């Protein structure tokens, strides 16, 4: 059983204009994710404190991305995006304020974030199939779900594996956001 909510042409145009007018936010967020991913993969931290700092930075970039996305969304999705952003901000602060937890706690925390964020990206993509390039968010969400599920299933992995998972997800998210930015910029030209 599928439920389809048909938007009026005016509503579709408003959604398209919201994404098109904020294409540059997707560009900034994509660049931040890519830089973070490349930075993370180039490091080989040996301590829990170093991993906690990297995780905090990843959560803060994720919070910025959620707040930027909230500028585009409307209604309940906007509220949900803001809540996710606040949770990601808090998670980053918690990782810095309490760097002493074991690797198991950190890896479970990151794994659940990746899984929940991946589900959010998939649901958002599937509810916005009328937006050009919606499938990019779907791909990024599926990869996030896969990495999160893998990390949840293996919480006792090494620091290096945890950092690698975060780095890979950051790069995938950066690529998806950059391609989306260019798609939305083209959409802006089409709407003009």
Tell me what pLDDT residue 82 has. Answer: 94
Neighbours of 94 (CB within 10 A): 16
Contact 40, 170 (CB under 8 A): yes
Tell me what pLDDT residue 157 has. Answer: 62
Residue 130 lies in a domain: yes
171 band by pLDDT with thresholds 50, 70 and 90: very high
- Measured distance CA(152)–CA(95) in Å, rounded: 18
Residue 4 lies in a domain: no
Residue 3 lies in a domain: no
Alpha helices in the chain (DSSP H): 9-21, 23-42, 48-70, 75-97, 103-127, 134-153, 159-191
Q: Tens of pLDDT along 17-50?
A: 888 888 898 899 899 999 988 988 887 666 667 7
- Read off the pTM: 0.68
Residue 5 lies in a domain: no
Q: Which residue range(s) make up the domain with 153?
A: 10-191
Residue 33 lies in a domain: yes
* Mean confidence (pLDDT) of the chain: 82
Residue 48 lies in a domain: yes
Residue 147 lies in a domain: yes
The answer on pLDDT for 158 being more than 80 is no
């Amino acid at each position: 059983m599928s439920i389809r909510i048909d938007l009026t042409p005016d509503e579709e145009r408003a959604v398209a204009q919201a994404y098109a007018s904020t294409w540059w936010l997707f560009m900034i967020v994509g660049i931040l994710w890519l830089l973070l991913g490349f930075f993370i993969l180039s490091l080989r931290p040996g301590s829990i404190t170093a991993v906690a700092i990297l995780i905090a930075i990843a959560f803060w970039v994720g919070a910025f991305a959620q707040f930027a996305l909230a500028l585009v969304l409307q209604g309940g999705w906007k509220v949900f995006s803001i809540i996710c952003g606040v949770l990601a901000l808090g998670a980053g602060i918690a990782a810095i304020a309490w760097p002493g937890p074991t690797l198991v706690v950190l890896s479970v925390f990151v794994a659940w974030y990746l899984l929940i964020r991946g589900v959010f990206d998939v649901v958002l993509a599937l509810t916005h199939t009328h937006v050009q390039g919606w499938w990019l968010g779907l791909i990024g969400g599926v990869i996030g779900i896969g990495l999160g599920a893998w990390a949840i299933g293996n919480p006792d992995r090494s620091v290096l594996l945890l950092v690698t998972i975060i780095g890979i997800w950051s790069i995938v998210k950066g690529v998806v956001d950059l391609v989306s930015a260019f798609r939305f910029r083209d959409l802006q030209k089409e709407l003009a």
